[in-house]
Amino acid sequence: MKLKIKKTVEITSIDLWKHYAPPMDGETQWKDGRSAMSLAQFMLDKNQIKKLEAKFSSLGYNVRGEVLCTPEANTPLPGKGNGRNHDLLMIGNDFVAGIESKVTEPFGNTIGKEVSKASANKQLRIDTLVKELFNCEISEDIEDLRYQLLTGAVGTLFEAIRNNKCKALFLVIVFTDSITAADEKQISKNNQDFADFCKFLGLKECGGTKKVLNIDLTISKMEVSLNENNASL
């Protein structure tokens, strides 16, 4: 798998990544051991990328040839305003992958909390995303799910449609090197939020694949240590 990482210019170093594709919160997120910098380090390390290639291969994706990677890629969503901001968007031969990078950061607000403070435009967006992904109206069970997981999954689906790909992967990559005992409560909460989202889609707690909008949508998670040569797929 050959990666081409580009945002205005081709990105070949940590400094170029920081300059051309900084995280939305800037310097507060760009720190050693946090998700934004960890993702950049991961994607620029040829040995680490073998873990991602193994993940894609295990899902039956065609990893031959060039894969275009765009950090901080934005996908328009229904309604006005900013769309889904992928930590990284990857476009391969037959797939699109939307990457959400985590260390201990939570998955944001619940859908219910977003609804409670939503403008008419935001309400339209949430209603549409829920309908597209779950094929139903907003319910109490849906309100308990995390909005970031909803936008991540649907944003990845939309990119697969836009790029005429038959497979879409919404992948959460958890970098484990900086996780401490004090972080265990938040990590457990993130794991439960991910499991609840998958279960509502009719998948196993660890994820899986289902047909949505005529696309094979896969929801998955992998844990990565930048100090080791293996990963939990």
How far from the centroid of its chain's Cα atoms is residue 212's Cα? 17
Span 42-92, pLDDT tens digits: 999 999 999 999 999 999 999 999 999 999 999 999 988 899 999 999 999
The rounded percent of the chain whose pLDDT value lies above 70 is 97
Count Cα atoms within 13 angstroms, Cβ side, for 151.
Answer: 24
pTM: 0.95
Span 135-148, pLDDT tens digits: 999 999 999 999 99
Inter-residue contact 37 to 101 (CB < 8 Å): no
Q: Check residue 166 and report its DSSP letter.
A: S
- Burial label, 13 (beta-carbon count in 10 A; 0-12, 13-18, 19+): exposed
Count Cα atoms within 13 angstroms, Cβ side, for 157.
Answer: 23
